[in-house]
Structure 1
Amino acid sequence: MERTKELILNSKKTDLLKEKQNIGAAAQGQQAFQGGATDLPWIQVAPDAPYFITEEGENWTPIGQNDAITWPDFANAFRRKDLKQVEDHLAWLAAHGVTCLRFMLEYAQTENRYFERPAGTFSPNMVRLWDDLFELCGKHKLRILLTPVDTFWMWIRWKHHPYNKQNGGPCSDRSQWLLCADTRKFFKDRITFVAERWGGSGVLFAWDLWNEIHPAHANNRTNIFHSFIKDISEHLRETELRLYGRTHPQTVSLYGPVLDENPEVADAIFRHPNLDFATTHFYDAATINNPKDTLSSAIITGRLVREALEHVNKARPFFDSEHGPIHAFKDRKKTLPEPFDEEYFRHMQWAHFASGGAGGGMRWPNRHPHVLTHGMRRAQKSMAAFASLIDWKRFRRKNLNYEVQTTSSAVTVFACADAEQAVVWVLRTDTTRKREGTFKQTAPPIEVGLKVPGMSEGKYRFTIWNTAEGRPILQEEAQNTIRGSLSVVIPAVVTDIALAIRKVG
């Protein structure tokens, strides 16, 4: 009996040693990822419109939010604590219209989720976690917007990070991240490893090469941005072309308010020739960061999208890849009441979408627990269903927030259109309850007439959409006989209403 126990124990030790050796080899790039996700079609920018399509030519809209490997929905992926829970959550997201998750490769708020430790040595547990996430996301047709460095927590907790020279890393100071040649080599090695292991998968929607690039990362310089992006982008493209003969889309994100103090960075963020689409983070101090009502944040979102589209190349997609009540949550330690937050979320989402952004923008939860509510998921499902009404690969949108004429002074209009399609969102401005900051759902409905400029003559299909319930209220076809504009009447607006307009034939 004792001999049998000893043999079983030795066998388990041998199996464990083999597993560690296999994971260790994989973590050094000796084994390519072989998950089932490799069959998922890659995403690319549409050749004739500022939106996204699959490589098979199907419309694809990024609908999702920011997630993290330490937050409740994904924490169980680490060390495979409970992969069934993670997969069930991914299946639930897919059922609610979510198509895209924005992840940091590592999350540096603690010391046990570094992707490298020490610098240059890839953590076996983290490699296995990403193997699992890529496979599970592929199974449920979800894609990942991946940013290789968590610059927020890396900055705050720099003394702990493996890239710090005091910890054996390459960089002497956090103000040198974009300037230090040794640090750049380590960063290139990191993205090379990721590209080699997971870059063949269509789960990888795109790269956010550097999260919230900031002058502080370059000793308060901005003139380095352009050359840094060029160097990293070209290195990654060469790697992907060598491996796969094609490349994933690329962007670099920016903390939006940086533009106010450093307008020159717009050239690197919105128009850099190496980037494929543009992203910024909507953190307006007076509204979005600490909202008092659900109206003001929607209005500022529409304005910020319009300003971004004025900067960006007309053929380049744009979306907000981070927003949320960061000041209320982080500094004031306040979690917004769920009904308020869900309306705030839905309003910002539709203001972003109708103003010409690709999708509804990507919320940073800023809640306790750090996840989106079920009401927010219903809002995403509503938008996903509405998105099927527009042919995005042919939609050369122009922002018309201020150009659409309306018969009512009690609404704000968010709109984008080309000659044959339009997306319009009408928001009441006269029904906000001052104490709660939310909209009065029992307000008497009003009729709103609209005139959308720039649209051609012909037959159109009009779909009026209830954004809260996620369903069409009315769908009809009518002939537009006026060249240069299109008129439509929405019979009953209580709080808000969306409208999809598409030429028939």
Structure 2
Amino acid sequence: MSRASFLILSVLVFCGAAYIRTNVDAHNNDVAVKKAGPVNFVRVSTLNPAYLELDNGALFIPVGINICWPRFVSSEDSVMNKMEYYLDQLGKNGGNFTRIWLSAPAFEVEHEKAGSYDETIARRIDRLVAIAKRNGIRIKFCLENFRALTNLPPMFAGSVPFDKPIYDKSGGGGLSSMKDFFTTARGKDLYLKRVEFLAKRYADEPTVFGWELWNEMNSVRIEDKKILEDWTSEMLGEVKRRVPKQLVMQSLGSYDTETATEWYRNYSVMPGNQIAQVHRYLDPGAKLEVSKGAMDKLAYDAVRTLKDWDLKKPVLLSEVGAVQAHHAGPSELYPKDSAGMMLHDYLYAAFFAGAAGPGQSWHWDYYIDKHHLWYQLARFNKAIRGLDPRTEDFKPFVKEENGLTVYGLQGKKTVLLWCRDQANTWEKELGQGIKPTRLSGLSVTLPFKVKVAKVSFYDPWKDKEMVLKNGNTIALPDFQRSGIVRLSVKH
């Protein structure tokens, strides 16, 4: 081999290796990452602030569910065995993200006395982080959830307390009301000292995605909502200073009333709130009609409402699921949804509405694990495989055609369509036991003209892909419930 040929071959090998490494790095759940654990922090994308990326520039789409605490167990071994099982299942099925409540009894370091932190529980959290790291999963830590100082025990079996008696005067904490907690130096100091204890352990840990100040801030029992807004604005900055490499954010309760719109707008636009999060549940007791209807529409609407405020930041549907009226407990629909049709709907609806990731389910145990629905996350990953929404700069659209609701994302190189059968609803399939119809002979037409290079179809219910005939009108293969069309666009 000549020296020139050797040099050319060396360059080609190097470039090929670089190409492979770049694509491996960009994949959210690369095997190498799972072995070594995350080494890069997650940030708001510098290419497109609607999405997330790693600090090495690789795309990060948070695919996962809430696994906030282990229900019905308390001993060290049982807590860790259950959490390890959940995180292993999540990781094996392509998940790379979860949310953990540090205020749940299993992970609460401040439980005996205000300002006193339990190293034994802290080491339990260390173990949890290690398990997540092994599975290539980022954790969003939720810092607090209490709504009153006293007299709010768990609402139902397997839930957690919503009070913090050790902060009350009667418990030695020195506070007389929730207002004291949010407005006095004593109350703020209690919050920030706990943050500092945790930050010393995890502020330099890339496995930690970020920190959520409070679970559903607007559910706190205090009349003056401006107090809560001012506190959130201040604490977003204070917490960020303590964890500068990680994201900080806030959350509000289920967006199921008109009055929640003002709450959501005010919190979403806060500059220090790095991710605009929205919670929404299918709730027969909700005041908003959309929250009582089709799961795909309620999830899509929640994200689009926030996106329409032009926030210039990522939006996530960070809690979603189905409940009994007025959140009295998990939905009676769950035992019937062994196929995971509701999970499927809010996974895709959120992403197709322009969220930075799929919808993130609540009820990890009553629903996801009970029916072994973890595979739905892997199917979602397969449906969007190879896409980079940052550079595509997707523009969402919706159209109805041939009995389908077609949710679309129009990008620079790709058009993606999620075709959802309008006749297949949770009312029919789960409420009335009507099985989904096999759809045949349908087509969809793009509402705009593009030069199509390739068309493919993915059936997430059968995990099958196929190539279709090119064109702006696409003849669909037979399918049930839904399918995803991908068009590669010529320029």
Give the AA of the match of 1:203.
Answer: T
- The answer on whether the counterparts of 1:287 and 1:300 sit within 8 Å (CA) in structure 2 is no
Equivalent position of 1:265 in the other structure: 263
Which of 307, 310, 313 does residue 309 from structure 1 map onto? 307
Give the AA of the match of 2:299.
Answer: T
Change (3 A) 1:320 1:185: same
Percent identity of paired positions between Structure 1 and Structure 2: 16
Equivalent position of 1:472 in the other structure: 465
Which of 404, 414, 418 does residue 421 from structure 1 map onto? 414
C-alpha RMSD of the superposition: 3.5
Change (3 A) 1:169 1:424: farther
What SS does structure 1 have at the residue aligned with 2:243?
Answer: helix
2: distance between equivalents of 1:355 and 1:411?
A: 17
Equivalent position of 2:21 in the other structure: none
- The answer on whether the counterparts of 2:102 and 2:142 sit within 8 Å (CA) in structure 1 is yes
Q: Does 1:382 align with 2:385?
A: no
Q: Number of residues paired by the alignment? A: 444
Deviation by residue 1:291-343 (Cα, 9 ceiling, x = unmatched): 9x997122222222211211241x31111111222226963676435442621
Change (3 A) 1:466 1:258: closer
Equivalent position of 1:197 in the other structure: 201
- The answer on whether the counterparts of 1:306 and 1:399 sit within 8 Å (CA) in structure 2 is no
Q: Does 1:70 align with 2:70?
A: yes
* TM-score (norm. length: structure 2): 0.79
Equivalent position of 2:15 in the other structure: none
What SS does structure 1 have at the residue aligned with 2:446?
Answer: strand
- The answer on whether the counterparts of 1:336 and 1:367 sit within 8 Å (CA) in structure 2 is no
What SS does structure 1 have at the residue aligned with 2:357?
Answer: coil
1: distance between equivalents of 2:264 and 2:327?
A: 28
1: distance between equivalents of 2:343 and 2:260?
A: 28
1: distance between equivalents of 2:295 and 2:205?
A: 37
- The answer on whether the counterparts of 1:349 and 1:361 sit within 8 Å (CA) in structure 2 is yes
1:275: Cα distance to partner?
A: 1.8
Alignment of 1:18-417 (within 5 A): 40-49=39-48, 50-71=50-71, 75=73, 79-81=76-78, 83=80, 86-108=83-105, 113=108, 115-151=110-146, 156-157=152-153, 161-214=165-218, 216-217=220-221, 219-241=222-244, 247-257=245-255, 260-286=258-284, 296-313=294-311, 315-327=312-324, 331=328, 335-340=332-337, 342-365=340-363, 368=366, 372-401=369-398, 404=399, 406-408=400-402, 410-417=403-410
1:372: Cα distance to partner?
A: 3.0
Unaligned runs of 5+ in 1: 1-35, 242-246, 480-485
1:123: Cα distance to partner?
A: 1.5
- The answer on whether the counterparts of 1:40 and 1:203 sit within 8 Å (CA) in structure 2 is yes
What SS does structure 2 have at the residue aligned with 1:260?
Answer: coil
The worse-fitting range, judged by mean Cα deviation, of 224-233 and 130-139 is 224-233
Deviation by residue 1:374-399 (Cα, 9 ceiling, x = unmatched): 44212111112223231133132333
Give the AA of the match of 1:52.
Answer: L
Give the AA of the match of 2:438.
Answer: A
Give the AA of the match of 2:422.
Answer: T
1:206: Cα distance to partner?
A: 1.6
What SS does structure 2 have at the residue aligned with 1:205?
Answer: strand
Give the AA of the match of 1:412.
Answer: T
1:373: Cα distance to partner?
A: 3.3
Give the AA of the match of 2:208.
Answer: L
Change (3 A) 1:398 1:143: same
2: distance between equivalents of 1:212 and 1:144?
A: 18
Deviation by residue 1:168-195 (Cα, 9 ceiling, x = unmatched): 1243223554333321111111112212
1: distance between equivalents of 2:292 and 2:343?
A: 8
Unaligned runs of 5+ in 2: 1-34, 154-161
1: distance between equivalents of 2:468 and 2:178?
A: 56
Give the AA of the match of 2:411.
Answer: D
2: distance between equivalents of 1:84 and 1:285?
A: 32
2: distance between equivalents of 1:332 and 1:193?
A: 33
1:200: Cα distance to partner?
A: 0.8
2: distance between equivalents of 1:431 and 1:263?
A: 30
1:98: Cα distance to partner?
A: 1.1
Give the AA of the match of 1:180.
Answer: T
Change (3 A) 1:504 1:133: farther
